[in-house]
């Protein structure tokens, strides 16, 4: 354990942090929005608010946990850019993206995007005590609650004036969803941290409501997993098992109950989160790694240990019973973090700790890009080779999942 923790500390402070510090845009503000697989930086790329919010969160947390003044300054840099360019001064909320110089590029409003802004602002306030950050986070909370939901929960996609539009941004796999597990999960995550730093009873009430929705609408007990895409009435639109989201949701939901400080909620959500942990371990980590002629392990007989456990990892997802074997950077990071926390919760289940260690070994061997000036590969093919079409940094590829894994462990 000490070895793994020390390795993650080194990965965080000597690799991930320097990479993202190098993307600081000193001329136009914020952080550069794109670095290709060939490590060519595009200084004129679009700057996504989600990326900026996650960078704000990341440097705030590194500063808080490790005492890094340069990271606090980087967090302030991201905060000032958000204030000046992502916040809509007329209609409220934050834009989806801006151009490299800060002018609006996509002025639509998405609930998922507002949530990550709250998440980053809450972390920044926690370390800096900058009241402007907390004030903005609470304003965005009011935007979500006042303009982006209905009696059944959270709606998602809107134009600049908060008129509903179709939800392509958070829909995939050939469906168009009105509600998604992904958006609910990250609004819950954002409100968890906002309640931690503000103690506002209205935030607590909304957080409790989201836990109820997660347990009653999103969780599918008969399948041991979460649904992903839904219509307005929470009817599932597709048979999709998102392994990374489920193992991430397990610990994020536990964290929400922990911050609420209510043993009743802790007991209620643990029934679900234990099922998610056990299911991802069995269905994704064990069965999903039974792939012949690849680096992920040879086919094995049920009940026997895989032949190459040291290279085990999580496939991307399973749709209609068919596993997509791509290895995605954020899924591996959440697997380590989620299995590690599952073991902490149930230390008698040492297989969770072994899984966390095995996936970390896989990450070190294959997912981390050792080229100078790079960070982690985005996606890997089943033979372990990185996909050259996938960038090292873009509006979705960020220091949020892998940086958080290092800090949590």
Beta-carbon count within 10 A of 160 CB:
17
Q: Above pLDDT 70, what percent of the chain?
A: 94
Query: CATH for 2-408?
Result: 1.50.10.10
Those residues whose C-beta lies under 8 Å from the C-beta of residue 401, and which sit 6 or more positions away, are: 329, 330, 333, 334
Q: Is the pLDDT of residue 192 over 90?
A: yes
Among 54, 21, 14, 34, which Cα is nearest to 404's?
A: 54
Q: Is 351 within 8 Å of 344 (Cβ atoms)? A: no
Q: Is the pLDDT of residue 206 over 50?
A: yes
Q: Is the pLDDT of residue 17 over 60?
A: yes
For range 261-272, the mean pLDDT: 97
The whole-number pLDDT of residue 295 equals: 43
For range 298-307, the mean pLDDT: 35
Instruction: Please give the mean pLDDT across all residues of the chain.
Output: 94
Q: Is the pLDDT of residue 298 over 50?
A: no
Q: Is 234 within 8 Å of 217 (Cβ atoms)? A: yes
Q: d(Cα 212, Cα 210) in Å, to the nearest integer?
A: 5
For range 204-208, the mean pLDDT: 98
For range 200-215, the mean pLDDT: 98
Q: For 47-100, how does the pLDDT look when each residue is reduced to its tens digit (9 = 90+)?
A: 999 999 999 999 999 999 999 999 999 999 999 999 999 999 999 999 999 999
Q: Is the pLDDT of residue 307 over 60?
A: no
Q: What is the pTM of this model?
A: 0.94
The whole-number pLDDT of residue 290 equals: 54
Q: For 125-151, how does the pLDDT look when each residue is reduced to its tens digit (9 = 90+)?
A: 999 999 999 999 999 999 999 999 999
Q: For 326-368, how does the pLDDT look when each residue is reduced to its tens digit (9 = 90+)?
A: 999 999 999 999 999 999 999 999 999 999 999 999 999 999 9
Q: For 155-187, how does the pLDDT look when each residue is reduced to its tens digit (9 = 90+)?
A: 999 999 999 999 999 999 999 999 999 999 999
For range 379-392, the mean pLDDT: 92
The whole-number pLDDT of residue 301 equals: 30
Those residues whose C-beta lies under 8 Å from the C-beta of residue 242, and which sit 6 or more positions away, are: 181, 226, 228, 317
- Residue corresponding to tokens 């606090």: 72
Q: Is 60 within 8 Å of 122 (Cβ atoms)? A: no
Q: d(Cα 242, Cα 254) in Å, to the nearest integer?
A: 18
Domain segments of the chain as ranges: 2-408
User: Looking at the DSSP assignment, which residues form a beta bridge with residue 317?
Assistant: 324
Burial of 372 (0-12, 13-18, 19+ CB in 10 A): exposed
Q: Is 313 within 8 Å of 362 (Cβ atoms)? A: yes
Q: Is the pLDDT of residue 310 over 70?
A: no
């Amino acid at each position: 354990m000490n070895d793994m923790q020390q390795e993650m500390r080194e990965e965080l402070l000597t690799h991930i942090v320097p990479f993202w510090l190098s993307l600081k845009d000193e001329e136009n503000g914020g952080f550069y929005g794109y670095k290709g697989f060939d490590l060519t930086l595009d200084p004129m790329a679009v700057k996504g608010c989600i990326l900026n919010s996650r960078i704000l969160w990341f440097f705030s947390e590194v500063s808080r946990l490790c005492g890094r003044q340069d990271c606090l300054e980087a967090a302030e840099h991201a905060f000032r850019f958000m204030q000046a360019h992502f916040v809509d001064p007329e209609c409220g909320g934050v834009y989806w993206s801006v151009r490299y110089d800060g002018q609006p590029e996509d002025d639509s409003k998405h609930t998922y995007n507002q949530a990550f802004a709250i998440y980053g602002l809450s972390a920044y306030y926690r370390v800096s005590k900058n009241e402007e950050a907390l004030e903005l986070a609470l304003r965005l909370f009011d935007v979500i609650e006042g303009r982006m939901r209905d009696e059944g929960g959270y709606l998602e996609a809107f134009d600049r004036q908060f008129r509903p539009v179709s939800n392509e941004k958070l829909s995939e796999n050939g469906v168009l969803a009105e509600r998604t597990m992904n958006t609910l999960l990250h609004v819950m995550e954002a409100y968890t941290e906002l309640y931690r730093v503000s103690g506002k009873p209205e935030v607590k009430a909304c957080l409790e409501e989201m836990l109820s929705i997660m347990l009653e609408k999103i969780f599918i007990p008969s399948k041991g997993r979460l649904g992903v895409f839904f219509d307005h009435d929470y009817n599932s639109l597709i048979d999709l098992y998102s392994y990374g989201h489920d193992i991430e949701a397990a610990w994020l939901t536990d964290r929400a109950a922990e911050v609420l400080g209510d043993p009743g909620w802790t007991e209620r959500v643990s029934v679900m989160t234990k099922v998610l942990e056990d299911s991802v371990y069995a269905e994704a980590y064990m069965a999903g790694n039974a792939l012949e002629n690849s680096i992920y392990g040879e086919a094995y007989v049920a009940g026997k240990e895989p032949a190459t456990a040291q290279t085990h990892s999580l496939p991307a997802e399973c749709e209609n019973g068919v596993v997509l074997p791509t290895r995605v950077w954020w899924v591996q990071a959440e697997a380590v973090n989620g299995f590690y926390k599952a073991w902490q919760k149930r230390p008698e289940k040492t297989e969770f700790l072994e899984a966390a260690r095995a996936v970390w070994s896989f990450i070190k061997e294959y997912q981390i890009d050792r080229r100078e000036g790079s960070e982690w590969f985005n996606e890997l093919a089943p033979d372990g080779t990185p996909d050259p079409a996938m960038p090292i940094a873009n509006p979705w590829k960020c220091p949020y999942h892998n940086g958080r894994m290092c800090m949590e462990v």
